[in-house]
Amino acid sequence: MTESTTVTTTVNPQVAYNLITKNLQEVLNPQIIKNVLEVEKRHLKLYWGTAPTGRPHCGYFVAMTKLADFLKAGCEVTVLLADLHAFLDNMKAPLEVVNYRAKYYECSIKAILRSINVPIEKLKFVVGSSYQKGGDYTLDIFKLSNIVSQNDAKRAGADLVKQVSNPLLSGLIYPLMQALDEHYLDVDAQFGGVDQRKIFVLAEENLEKIGYKKRAHLMNPMVPGLGQGGKMSASDPNSKIDLLEEPKVVKKKINGAFCSPGNVEENGLLSFIEFVIAPIQELKNGEGHFEFFIDRPEKFSGPMTFKSFAEIKQAFKDEKLSPPDLKIGVADAINELLAPIREEYANNKEYQEANEKGYPVAVPEKTKKAKKPKNKGSRYPGAAKTEDKKVEEVAEDLKKATV
């Protein structure tokens, strides 16, 4: 990888730091970020990686709002389309299919960012296989594999790599590669969900041992799925809403979501409002702006409008806001978010091809059924005559035998 040109920061360091760390669940080594902004006086370089496995879903809006914050803070942001990581994750797809999925992810990410008014001109996209297949990178994999134990590598990838009873060696290589990507992408920090914390710690503990500097790590909270417990996952169709989901399907899935009256702790719909809808409204309309509309039928007291997330949460906790009403509001809000993405997909041939070839629809093979001999029984034309003839023959034989 070629080193990027160092750019002197023009954003106030404290303002930039506040934007970079806004709404995060955890930051490891924040002093590294502060040193870049305040001492080196340059833009922070960071990357966010995503392995193109299942189709991106609405949970990706959380990461996208943070990319918006990073860009606003003047950060040099790289999006890693980790195609080899996807291939290593228990071979969920062959490489030729993964290539199309990587393109589908790139189109989806750009569509999401455009839909929430985030300029993408300064966003850099890198495909992992462009630098991960040889040279010093491979040698560094060997170096790390000589100091990281099997148990440490397995534990690091436990929350990301699919766990099976007889795991493949590929699952142990995955976290080593993600750690090395920080060096080869020439960044100061890596951004991801809190589910990647163990890989981040592995990188912090081992990169310095092979001569590379320690990086900062920024972690987003995970958006809960639509069921009870667990995160929104690309591999679980019942827990997520795809970016291209049809409006009727969105409403059906939201109507089936777990939403217990008064329960604000285990409520994926409230979390979606807090971590997706609220930040996007601020991006579009300015800091502090929030408005959540629920088109409630007149027979149930008519529409409702909330001016803050805290107000919605309290109303639901006090059971003044019912689960059916909350579901109406969330379904409408999601369909509003997805409308421009669906429109872009409909007008983008490259996007469509990536979807069709990256996620081909399995067509069941048609096999001809073997013909079974027909058992006509005695209920077919002429059956009675045939049976009568047989009876006459038997009677004649008996008569001869008694003569």
Structure tokens at 86: 């996807």
Strand order in the sheet with 26-28: 26-28, 216-220, 189-193, 45-50, 76-81, 124-127
- For residue 209, the model assigns a pLDDT of 97
User: Which tens digits make up the pLDDT trace of 99-112?
Assistant: 999 999 999 999 99
Count, residues in the chain: 403
- For residue 2, the model assigns a pLDDT of 43
Q: What is the DSSP string of 58-83?
A: TTHHHHHHHHHHHHHTT-EEEEEE-H
- For residue 351, the model assigns a pLDDT of 97
- For residue 27, the model assigns a pLDDT of 97
Top mean pLDDT of 32-46, 81-95, 272-286, 350-364 is at 32-46
Residue 146: count of CB within 10 angstroms of its CB: 9
Nearest partner of 279 among 74, 68, 27, judged by Cα: 68
Q: Give the span between the Cα atoms of 6 and 3, in whole angstroms.
A: 9
DSSP 313: H
Across 244-328, where does the E strand assignment appear?
A: 292-294, 304-306
Q: Residue 367 — pLDDT band, cuts 50, 70, 90?
A: low
Q: Give the span between the Cα atoms of 270 and 365, in whole angstroms.
A: 43
Whole-structure pTM value: 0.82
- For residue 369, the model assigns a pLDDT of 62
Q: Between 184 and 258, where is the model more confident?
A: 184
Q: Give the span between the Cα atoms of 259 and 322, in whole angstroms.
A: 9
Q: Give the span between the Cα atoms of 353 and 106, in whole angstroms.
A: 13
User: Does residue 162 surpass a pLDDT of 90?
Assistant: no
Q: Give backbone dihedrals phi and psi of 156, rounded to 5 degrees, phi first.
A: -65, -40
User: Which tens digits make up the pLDDT trace of 278-334?
Assistant: 999 988 888 888 999 999 888 888 899 999 999 999 999 999 999 999 999 999 999
User: Does residue 171 surpass a pLDDT of 90?
Assistant: no
Quote the mean pLDDT of the chain. 86
User: Does residue 144 surpass a pLDDT of 80?
Assistant: yes
Average pLDDT over residues 252-280: 92
- Single-letter amino acid, residue 6: T
User: Does residue 222 surpass a pLDDT of 70?
Assistant: yes
Q: What is the DSSP string of 7-49?
A: -B--S-HHHHHHHHHTT-SEEE-HHHHHIIIIIS-B--EEEEE
- For residue 164, the model assigns a pLDDT of 64
- For residue 90, the model assigns a pLDDT of 56
Nearest partner of 23 among 62, 59, 57, judged by Cα: 62
Q: Give backbone dihedrals phi and psi of 388, rounded to 5 degrees, phi first.
A: -60, -40
Of the listed ranges 134-138, 155-159, 388-392, the one predicted with least confidence: 388-392
